[in-house]
């Protein structure tokens, strides 16, 4: 079912009035939805709309971005993770339970459920025709995307480095200071394409990338298949349980708190049975999630 035809049934004035209210209360909607999902789910695979929009604009070179374009990027990211891969190194049997394997590899503790996806390469067909890739180059960029918390290749901060042993990471510092290094709990790399077994993944096993309470041997996993994905001869995806969502989530919670403190638009929810206690429960849960991820490595 499509959203736009339903909106088109509204008069022009009513449409913009309702759309305006939705935009104003989107932080409320985000905290209520995310807190409910966090309670009832084993893991959440999170996609940020702004990041997907930038991929469409900067990597895919799309001028007029539609919902279809955004959905295609999302489908590409999900497909790069859940398309079949071999069950183990040297095996020619595909894994039978990828969701269960994903949970086993990436969610070692029930308090940490936020998973993010990064892909490389991702580009328009016109650009692809003039591009060649090596595993060394792809994985170097993917690792830097991870530690600098970049959502795409363009704009990677190459100045970010893992912390020296014995020194605190930026992830341990107050949210009032800008996050630089993105500490991970666990990472899964999925490689697809030609000469996949020659790819060197030692850089993802560096203990400095991970929280201190999980050994790298348990924190890093890799899935492989020689079958190419989409139109790319070689491609890599990274699913990460890390601090990637701390800053945007803290921003959303902060904005929602400011509105809630002034009782703004609360009546829009109470008339449908959502009480102030429901908001407070959502704030409490998400603030605990933020604190837990922020304190990784202590």
Query: Using one digit for the tens of pLDDT, what is the confidence trace for 197-243?
Result: 999 999 999 999 999 999 989 999 999 999 999 989 999 999 999 99
Which CATH number characterizes residue 60's domain?
3.40.50.1440
State the average pLDDT over residues 160-184. 64
169: pLDDT strictly greater than 60? no
- 219, part of any domain: yes
Q: Is there a domain that residue 166 lies in?
A: no
Sign for the CA dihedral angle at 292, 115, 254, 145 comes to positive
Q: What is the pLDDT of residue 18?
A: 44
Cα separation, 263 vs 28, in Å, equals: 12
Q: Choose between 179 and 141: higher pLDDT.
A: 141
Name beta bridge partners: 115. 45
Position 13 in a domain: no
Position 13 scores a pLDDT of 35
Residue 60 lies in domain? 40-158+182-248
Global confidence as pTM: 0.86
Residue 164 lies in a domain: no
Residue 149 located in a structural domain? yes
In the block, residue with structure tokens 């940020």 = 48
Confidence (pLDDT) at 88: 72
**According to the model, what pLDDT value does residue 24 have?**
78
* Average predicted confidence (pLDDT) for the chain: 86
Position 23 scores a pLDDT of 59
As a whole-number percent, the residues of the chain with pLDDT over 90 amount to: 73
* pLDDT (average), residues 13-34: 67
Q: Confidence band (pLDDT; 50, 70, 90) for 176? A: very low
- At 8, the pLDDT band (50, 70, 90 cuts) reads very low
Predicted confidence at residue 277, as pLDDT, reads 96
Give the residue, 14 or 145, on which the prediction is more confident. Answer: 145
Instruction: Tell me what pLDDT residue 16 has.
Output: 34
Query: Average pLDDT of 128-149?
Result: 93
Q: Is residue 230 part of a domain?
A: yes
Task: Provide the phi-psi class of 35: left if phi over 0, else alpha when psi is between -120 and 50, else beta.
Answer: alpha
Count structural domains, the chain.
1
Would you state the pLDDT for residue 124?
Answer: 87
Residue 191 lies in a domain: yes
Residue 293: pLDDT band (50, 70, 90) is very high
Question: At residue 22, does pLDDT exceed 80?
Answer: no
pLDDT of residue 17: 40
How do 44-46 and 114-120 pair as beta strands?
Answer: parallel
User: What secondary structure letter does DSSP report for 57?
Assistant: I
For the stretch 36-79, pLDDT in tens is: 999 999 999 999 989 999 999 999 999 999 999 999 999 999 99
**Which helix H or strand E contains 234, and what residues bound it?**
strand 234-242
Least confident of 166-170, 240-244, 271-275: 166-170
pLDDT bin (cut points 50, 70, 90) of residue 181 is: very high
pLDDT at 82 over 50: yes
- The answer to whether residue 27 sits within a structural domain is no
Which pLDDT value is given to residue 177? 42
Report residue 181 as tokens.
């290094």
Q: Averaging pLDDT over each range in 12-26, 115-129, 282-296, which range is the top one?
A: 282-296
63: nearest Cα among 117, 2, 124, 119:
124
């Amino acid at each position: 079912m499509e959203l736009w035809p339903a909106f088109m049934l509204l008069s022009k004035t009513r449409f913009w009035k309702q759309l305006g209210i939705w935009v104003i209360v989107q932080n409320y909607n985000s905290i209520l939805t995310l807190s409910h999902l966090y309670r009832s789910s084993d893991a959440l695979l999170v996609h940020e709309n702004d990041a997907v929009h930038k991929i469409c604009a900067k990597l895919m070179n799309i001028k007029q971005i539609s919902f279809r374009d955004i959905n295609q990027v999302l489908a590409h990211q999900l497909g790069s993770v859940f398309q079949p891969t071999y069950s183990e190194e040297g095996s020619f049997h595909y894994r039978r339970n990828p969701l269960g394997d994903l949970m086993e590899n990436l969610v070692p503790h029930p308090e940490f459920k936020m998973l993010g996806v990064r892909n490389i390469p991702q580009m328009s067909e016109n650009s692809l025709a003039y591009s060649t890739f090596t595993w060394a180059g792809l994985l170097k960029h993917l690792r830097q995307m991870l530690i600098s918390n970049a959502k795409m290749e363009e704009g990677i901060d190459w100045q970010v480095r893992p912390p020296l042993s014995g020194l605190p990471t930026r992830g341990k510092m107050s949210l009032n200071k800008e996050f630089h290094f993105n500490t991970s709990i666990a990472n899964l790399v999925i490689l697809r394409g030609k000469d996949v077994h020659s790819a060197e993944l030692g850089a993802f096993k560096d203990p400095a990338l991970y929280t201190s309470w999980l050994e790298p041997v348990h924190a890093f996993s890799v899935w492989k298949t020689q079958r190419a994905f989409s139109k790319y001869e070689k491609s890599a995806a990274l699913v990460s349980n890390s601090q990637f969502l701390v800053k945007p989530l803290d921003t959303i919670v902060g904005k929602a708190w400011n509105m809630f403190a002034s009782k703004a638009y609360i009546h829009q929810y109470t008339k449908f049975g959502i009480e102030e206690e429901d908001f407070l429960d959502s704030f409490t849960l998400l603030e605990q999630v933020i604190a837990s991820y922020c304190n990784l490595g202590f």
